[in-house]
Amino acid sequence: MFEKLFSYRQIRELERSQTFASLKSDRDRRGLVPIAVIDDEAFAAQQTLTNNGYNIKALGDIKTLDEVEPYNIILCDLQGVGRHLDGKNQGAFLINEIKRNSPEKFVIAYTGGALSDDITARANETADSFLRKDADVQEWRDKLDDYIERVSNPIIVWRRQRDALVRKNVATLDILKLEDAFVKSVQKRDPEIFGRISGSYDIKDDARAIAQSLIASGIFKLLVG
Amino acid sequence: MTSIPYIVVDKGLITINEGILINLPTEFFSVAQKSFYAGAKSGWHRCPLGYQTFSVLDALGRKIVFPGILDASQPSPNRKFPNHPLRFSRIQIEKYAASHLDIFEKIREQRDAEFRNLTHDLRAISTEIYHGSLNIRESVERALPADSSEIQSKVDLIINAQSMMSIRLDIIDYESGLTSGRPQDYIQPYPKVHKVLRCFDGKLKARRITWKIEGQCRREILGPSIFEIVPFVIVENALKYAPHGSNILVRFEEKENEIIIRFESLGPKIKDSEKNKIFDRDYRGESVRNSSQTGSGIGLFAAKTIAESHFKGRIFVNQFDAEYWDDGECFYETRFTVVLPTQDSSQNRR
């Protein structure tokens, strides 16, 4: 029994994605990670960020969460979006839903409003970070480069996934099996391994549901390869 | 305004509001009476003149006092005024106070909502100006690669003005208590201080004051996104009080777990006894009290509160003995030091 436990691969066996690390310039890295923007108005920073090499996709106000499925970094305005889903909580509702369904995604809330609004207070509970609408370009770059770095780091990606599994009270043994599959997938550059294990009969439904989003992203195209 | 007079006691400051329909004799606003109103706890009390006084706290924590009530069911007052106008029962006054506090609260909520919408719109405008300017800069660089410096310097002026607007909006939010919900974030102080100095560029040039930053610092501090207010207040003070043609020097130093930022400029004399007091709310040093200088209205009290409460740092002032005379006025080298504990974001990255 114990021998079996010790045979599971652990996240510390991994290093940062070699493919991503080999890219020399920030611009190269920025271009590889598409960033979704949820905003009911024109996104003022779009041209500036595009000029800085970021791959920005303005989605407008989304109707379903499927629209953000391909993105691992999401910028979400807090006011005016998601009204048809939850008129009271607006952007905070969207952020909460995205994080509930896809805990591995990074969601950065941005707002021009005072940050003690009810909506902001609610978003603060789930968003990974905040930016003011009128933040300067250096702040945007620092924030986005940081999150691009995180989505390409398998250790961070797995830890977030594991935290979500723990919060859902998934059994430790199931988490160990998923971690083993995640490590094998990254090492062998084959997202199917993780997909097979998490879809297998001995992983419980709750763990499988949380892992589903990671599988759908092809473990984010094998960490931005 | 209400039909009857009331008194507002806010942080020890007493404001008397006359009634629209009914007023009280001046004896009700004597020093002894005011002192009684300031100290009275919530509820009903008998004032030194022997009249009933009702005190209640409003939603902002201010004490609202309704003085000089003559309630026939209570003992007679010590001093009688002919035709005393405020003859009401306790229940009548309590209902009256409750209805007015309710109206005040609704007005305040409406005003705050309008104010929030206004700052929201101003931030949106500020954002458009900023990114529009950056896009112009990019386009000009492409169209005129050889010589775009004149246009670029004009674009920089717009960006500096936008930075000033953005920080002032932060100050408005801070003073209105609307920054309390801002989440903690890792902040590099160096670019923030640089941004603040840049946004004062035009004003500093107008007074022929030069600025320079010495030292480098890439380390981070942890706190809400209001740090810029700290250098803003200090640089604004330096700009107000430094003589024409002088310098502002900002020096960064990294220590084991701290960043030390020193802002040095010439300023009027600060007595030893004032060196702590200048960080008190609404305090102005003796040398500057008669000055006609005005500013953003936010003082060193805010800089100290933000540095200490939000960033667990400290701030203090030193002044050196050497005298510099300019246009008949004496100035001293003044140094504001901000010490901030550093945080390593890579340790907490998830």
With tokens 């005129």, the residue in question is B144
**Do A77 and A39 meet the contact criterion of CB atoms below 8 Å apart?**
yes
A213 vs B: CB within 8 A: no
Best mutation site among A134, A140, A150 for testing chain B: the one with the most B CBs within 10 Å?
A134
A120 vs B: CB within 8 A: yes
CATH number for B185-348: choose from 3.30.565.10, 3.40.50.620, 1.10.3720.10, 3.40.47.10.
3.30.565.10
Residue A113 and residue B185: Cβ atoms within 8 Å? no
The model's confidence at residue B296, banded by pLDDT at 50, 70 and 90, is very low
Domains in chain A, CATH or no CATH each: 2-16+154-224 (no CATH), 24-151 (3.40.50.2300)
Both tokens assigned to B114:
């309008």
B349 vs A: CB within 8 A: yes
Per-residue pLDDT, B35? 93
Residue B19 CA to residue B29 CA, distance in Å, equals: 14
Handedness of CA B175, B176, B177, B179 (dihedral sign): negative
Angle between helices A90-101 and A118-126 (to 10 degrees): 10
CB nearest B181 (choices: A48, A121, A156): A121
Residue B254 has pLDDT above 70, yes or no: yes
Q: Where are the beta strands (DSSP E) in chain B?
A: 6-10, 13-17, 43-46, 52-57, 63-69, 185-187, 210-214, 221-223, 247-254, 258-267, 314-326, 329-341
What would the pLDDT profile of A31-85 be if each residue is shown by its tens digit? Answer: 888 999 999 989 999 999 999 999 999 999 988 888 998 898 999 998 888 888 8
Residue A163 and residue B177: Cβ atoms within 8 Å? no
Residue B123 and residue A133: Cβ atoms within 8 Å? yes
A51 vs B: CB within 8 A: yes
Task: Answer yes or no: is the ipTM higher than 0.85.
Answer: no
For residue B323, what are the β-bridge partners? B332
Q: What is the pTM of this model?
A: 0.76
Residue type, B75: P
Q: What is the mean pLDDT of residues B282-297?
A: 59
Best mutation site among B130, B155, B172, B347 for testing chain A: the one with the most A CBs within 10 Å?
B130
DSSP one-letter string for A99-139: HHH-TTSEEEEEESS-TTSHHHHHHHHH-SEEEETT--HHH
What would the pLDDT profile of B169-193 be if each residue is shown by its tens digit? Answer: 888 888 877 776 677 888 999 999 9
B120 vs A: CB within 8 A: yes
Residue B124 and residue A44: Cβ atoms within 8 Å? yes
CA distances from A45 to A13, A28, A94, B79, B152 (A): 39, 20, 21, 70, 19
